[in-house]
Amino acid sequence: MRDVTQNAAASEVARQKAALRGRLCAARAALSAAERSAAGRRLRDAVLSLPEAGMAGTVAAYFSIGTEPATRSLVYALWKRGSYVLLPLLRADNDLDWASYEGPDSVRSRPDGRHELVEPLEPPRGPDAIARADLVIAPALAVDNRGMRLGMGGGCYDRALARVGPLVATVALLYDGEFVDAVPAAPHDQPVRIVARPSAGVTRLPL
């Protein structure tokens, strides 16, 4: 009986997440390429202003796709400043592997075209490589004031963030309207500690 109740609660959370995802994706789809780039430039400057970014030996970042705020200039800037930058490779089991970014020629569109992903060409270092990051930059569709994040629905970043130590800065990159009152959360969901928004800049969450 307890399992039945738990399953019903889990599917209700999944349904609420899907509804919120639908609304947020529709809002993102209305943005122009120029707006995505402008948001990306402001997010880059916000993230680079973090003391954790200045001190970071290793940064786990990601290459934006689709309607996400653009992250290429942030990835490039982190690398140029001398951080060791890791980018994710999506595995078949929805976990993330990690390989180093070594400049603009060190990435390519994924050969199978999956999700239009751009991934690093360097050798993968394994899913645990994220545990060595001093700063983790994660995508999100929304984050609430507990740090609970809504992603694209693969659970990839829940798996990855579970390997990150409690004192590491984890930053989700949002558009301005995406810091919301409440994100539906399940036991597997992993919070982030900081959000960055184009106009509001960086907000640290009390975790």
Distance CA 187, CA 170 (A): 19
**Nearest residue to Mg ion on Cβ basis:** 189
Shortest distance (Å) from residue 156 CB to ligand ATP: 4
* Residue 144 is a binding residue for Mg ion (CB under 5 A): no
Q: 94 - beta bridge partners?
A: none
* Residue 134 is a binding residue for Mg ion (CB under 5 A): no
Between residues 44 and 149, which has the closer beta carbon with respect to ligand ATP? 149
Shortest distance (Å) from residue 111 CB to Mg ion: 27
Q: Under the rule (CB under 6 A), what is the footprint of ligand ATP?
A: 17, 150-159, 162, 188-189
CB contact set of 60 (below 8 Å; sequence gap of 6+) = 85, 86, 87, 88, 98, 129, 130, 133, 135, 136, 137, 160
CB contact set of 151 (below 8 Å; sequence gap of 6+) = 138, 139, 140, 141, 157, 158
Between residues 78 and 148, which has the closer beta carbon with respect to ligand ATP? 148
* Residue 95 is a binding residue for Mg ion (CB under 5 A): no
**Nearest residue to ligand ATP on Cβ basis:** 151
CB–CB of 96/82 below 8 Å?
Answer: no
Query: Which of 174, 178, 163, 166 minimizes the C-alpha distance to 207?
Result: 166
Q: Which does 95 bind (CB under 5 to 8 A by kind): Mg ion, ligand ATP, none?
A: none
Give, as one character, the DSSP assignment of residue 177.
G
The type of residue at 183 is V
Binding Mg ion (rule: CB under 5 A), the pick from 95, 134, 158, 178 is 158
Shortest distance (Å) from residue 188 CB to ligand ATP: 4
Q: Which residues bind Mg ion (CB under 5 A)?
A: 158, 189
